[in-house]
Structure 1
Amino acid sequence: MKSSSSVIKKPLYTTTVLISSLCFCQSTETEIKVAFYDGTVVAGYADHGAFVNCTGPNISLKNKNLKLMLGMLPSLRIKEDRAEGTKNSTIMPTLGAGMTVAYKRLAVQIPFYYNTKTSSQNGSWKVGIGLGYSFR
């Protein structure tokens, strides 16, 4: 069984390579900025449930029609609680973190969400995938 740190390492390596390659582009249209909202809405799948989020505070790198964002993801997670007895709500607000790549109006996202420790499971990070729309 893989540890949660090994699950996180591969996407982090990929993110680092993507950011590095975009930083060394020779185009004069490349810009790096920090934003609180970039106008991107994403829906996707993570940990046997769905999520809907907006890109929150982030660091972004833009080169022509391609934009790479690394930051926080205020989200609504939609997941049925199958525990016996008392249950959590099906729709829960949560905060994730991750990478979003937007090309023109299409956005693809790799979010990470943390599930806290329960009586039957240890706390762990879960990786997801999402597709969305950029209003920029």
Structure 2
Amino acid sequence: MDQMKKLLTVCLLLMISSQMYGQEKIVKGSLFEGIVVAGYADHGAYINCTGPALKYTFAPKSCLLVGLLPSLKLKEDKVDPGKPKNSWITPSLGFGLTAVFRHIAIQLPAFYTAKTSAADGKWRLGVGMGYKF
């Protein structure tokens, strides 16, 4: 939960800083940026692209995005024999921060793991690297 508070604080600071630049359009909405990322989260891998986001441009070819991350999570369940297993590939929607420098993207996503009979639901942080087309 502390990570979510930190992430929301960064979002708030980005919005406040955008008010300082009166005439310049530095923060704007974005539906798709053409960024594909692969990374690690919750003892498995993920592949995603950036979805709807707030985009903060701080240099000609550098930006910071905060938004939704439509993803495919790749994780094999470890369950007892005879019990049903989940699919190895699962569609998921994450939320996170993506920094882009020229064509290299670094991402800090958060994915929510639903509550089960064995564990409580929690936000899981990850890390990833990708490419902007």
TM-score relative to the length of structure 2: 0.85
Q: Retained in 2: the 8 A contact 1:15–1:99?
A: no
Measured in 2, the distance between the counterparts of 1:87 and 1:43 equals 24
Question: After TM superposition, which residue ranges in structure 1, 4 or more long, deviate above 4 angstroms?
Answer: 14-17
Report the equivalent of 1:122. 120
Moved more, 42-51 or 56-65: 56-65
1:68 partner amino acid: L
Measured in 1, the distance between the counterparts of 2:94 and 2:102 equals 24
Report the equivalent of 1:8. 4
Of all paired residues, the percent bearing the same amino acid is 41
Report the equivalent of 1:38. 33
CA displacement 1:89-132 (0-9 Å, x = unmatched): 11111100111010100000010100000010010100000100
CA displacement 1:17-47 (0-9 Å, x = unmatched): 5x26964887x87622212110000000001
Unmatched tracts of structure 2, length 5 or more? none
Measured in 2, the distance between the counterparts of 1:32 and 1:24 equals 9
Matches within 5 A, 1:1-136: 5-14=1-10, 16-17=12-13, 19=14, 23=18, 31-63=26-58, 64-84=60-80, 85-135=83-133
1:122 partner amino acid: D
Paired residues in the alignment total 129
TM-score relative to the length of structure 1: 0.83
Measured in 2, the distance between the counterparts of 1:133 and 1:77 equals 18
Measured in 1, the distance between the counterparts of 2:97 and 2:11 equals 7
